[in-house]
Amino acid sequence: MKPFWRMMATGIMLGLSVPVLADVKTGVDAWQQGDYAKAIGEWRPLANEGDPDAQFNMGQAYKLGRGVQPDLKVAIDWYRKAAVQGHMRAEDNLGLLMFQQGDRAAAIPYLQRAAMRGEPRAQYIVGTALFNGDLVGKDWVRAYALMSRAAASGLSQASTSLTQMDKYIPEDQRKRGLAMAANIEQGKGASFAATEPAPVRASPAPVRTAELPASTPPKPAKPTPAPKPAASRPQVAAASPPQPAPAKPAAQTNALPKPAASGGWRVQLGAFGEEGNARALWNRLTGKVSGLSAYQLYLVKAGAVTRVQAGPIASSADASRLCSRIKAAGADCMPKKI
């Protein structure tokens, strides 16, 4: 899967953007050390001057309540300012947080773009909306494509919803959905123009989510418990936006993939100006993520930056599954084709 957020000149560290500006990096270093007030002091002037990375980090701070009182409205404002300037991770967080706060219709355009970039939670939400015909027109081919991509990333709720969809979406549309999912993975996903209306069927059981308005089709006699939107991509030290605890995943879906003897994939965990900080991140994560130490550590030099990668990994799907486990430990992770 191609990266779906842009890497800054000096990398991404635990969900914070780190551009060339030294003051932003100084703020990130302070954040890492738990000095949130100092981090805010570094970022706020730059954010007020229009730096999108500082604005994104301020959104993180207000969402998590670190160095400032938690205020989701202020977080949304900072995310929006960064997103307007093309900060993709800010746009991802903006859509998810707006949806979480009930501004669902306005959130959908952001979530659609995030879904096409490969954001699993956005794919799950938009796929659900497209299947039910909530907030957007019903489109079962695209719904199946997005839900397939979310399930392939290791999102257990998406796997459950995909099983429900199998009962109602005709086989030919499922096949077309899988073909579209492959295009999305390769960065060739089509726009959100409807492919074709879903066929009329008697009382289809919607793939429900408590975060979406009720669908127009009637519920079945014994409805399946509603799947919940997944917890947001972990940022600095907590998930965003906060969600109910997800259902326990099936063992075969979220099992940690075994390291491959060779492979064309790795996962990238962050990038640092000092190699010591890169090794420190690796040591912390191997203590948190069971089985991660079995992978080989790669410290990839790119100018003055040291990128932290783990591998080798056999496939994109295995890299996404490993990232899912790493994100659950509160760290950032990105599949990377080598």
- Region of 259 on the Ramachandran plot (φ > 0 left; ψ -120 to 50 alpha; else beta): beta
CB-CB contact of 108 with 83 (8 Å)? no
CB 112 within 8 A of CB 126: yes
Nearest to 294 by CA among 272, 275, 271, 310: 310
Signed CA dihedral, 44, 50, 54, 59: sign only: positive
Q: Where do you find CATH 3.30.70.1070 in the chain? A: 256-337
Give the Cα-Cα-Cα angle 191, 197, 199 (nearest 5 degrees). 145
In 3D space, the residue among 136, 160, 138, 159 whose CA is nearest the CA of residue 149 turns out to be: 159
Contact of 65 with 57, CB cutoff 8 Å: no
Distances (CA, A) of 13 to 2, 27, 30: 19, 11, 12
pTM, 2 dp: 0.54
Per-residue model confidence (pLDDT) at position 280: 78
Would strands 334-337 and 296-302 be described as parallel, antiparallel, or unpaired? unpaired
Q: pLDDT tens digits, the chain, 338 residues: what are they?
A: 333 233 232 333 345 554 434 478 888 888 888 899 999 999 999 999 999 999 999 999 999 999 999 999 999 999 999 999 999 999 999 999 999 999 999 999 999 999 999 899 999 999 999 999 988 999 999 999 999 999 998 888 999 999 999 999 999 999 999 999 888 887 765 555 444 444 434 334 444 443 333 223 333 334 344 444 433 332 332 333 334 333 333 333 445 677 777 778 888 888 777 777 778 788 888 888 888 888 888 888 877 778 889 888 888 888 888 888 888 777 788 888 88
**Per-residue pLDDT, 16:** 53
Query: CATH assignment of 12-96?
Result: 1.25.40.10
Q: Tell the CATH topology of 256-337.
A: Alpha-Beta Plaits (3.30.70)
Could you tell me the two tokens for 33? Answer: 């050390």
CATH 1.25.40.10 residue ranges of the chain are 12-96
